[in-house]
Amino acid sequence: MGKNRVFFPQEALDRWLRAGQVELSGAELTIRARRRRYRLVEAARVMAEVSNQPDPHELVGRVKTVAFLTELGAELLGGSMVIGDNAYEVVPGWLGSPIGSFTEHRAELDELRTGEAIVRPFGSDEELLADFLIRNL
């Protein structure tokens, strides 16, 4: 199974930061309600090729780090990206990789519990993140 990662659109991240639902410390994001931490890398979600050219790098529908896109020769500006003769619509944001395994995360939460449960248990990172997104999007 591949690495478990999630894309956080910049617009959503800004909204969550203003509302105090997440904390950002350097390149680390913490979802406060679930105390789940993610290591962030700047990225873009490629939505569409808009110049009616073939997509030689097969980027449409994928999330790629800005470092990777820059290596391809990409120029990014807001919601736009150009690589050679290709123009793309993108969503700027951050690619998050969970810090530690989900088992380690659950063990941390168990240590924090006192007489009453502070969080509802989840079976996986996917369930935890889905719950957060449903409540906040």
Q: Which domain holds residue 60?
A: 6-136
Amino acid at 42: E
Task: Look at residue 1 and tell me if it is in a domain.
Answer: no
Query: What's the number of domains the chain is made of?
Result: 1
Residue 14 included in any domain: yes
- Backbone angles phi and psi of 6, in degrees to 5: -140, 145
Structure confidence by residue, pLDDT tens digits, 98-134: 987 666 555 565 555 544 445 555 666 666 666 766 6
CB burial class (10 A; 0-12, 13-18, 19+) of residue 26? exposed
Residue 85 DSSP symbol: T
Confidence of residue 73 (pLDDT cuts 50, 70, 90): very high
| 8 A C-beta contact, residue 93 and residue 10 | yes
Q: What is the pLDDT of residues 39-54, one digit of tens each?
A: 999 999 999 999 999 9
Residue 132 within any structural domain of the chain = yes
> Per the domain annotation, does 56 fall within a domain?
yes
Q: For residue 115, what is the DSSP state?
A: S
* 124: in domain: yes
Q: In this structure, is residue 84 part of a structural domain? A: yes
Contact call for residues 109 and 58 (beta carbons, < 8 A): no
The radius of gyration computed from the CA coordinates of the chain, to the nearest angstrom, equals 17
Answer yes or no: is 37 within a domain. yes
Indicate whether this model's pTM tops 0.75: no
Residues 3-57 have pLDDT tens digits of 688 999 999 999 999 999 999 999 999 988 778 889 999 999 999 999 999 999 9
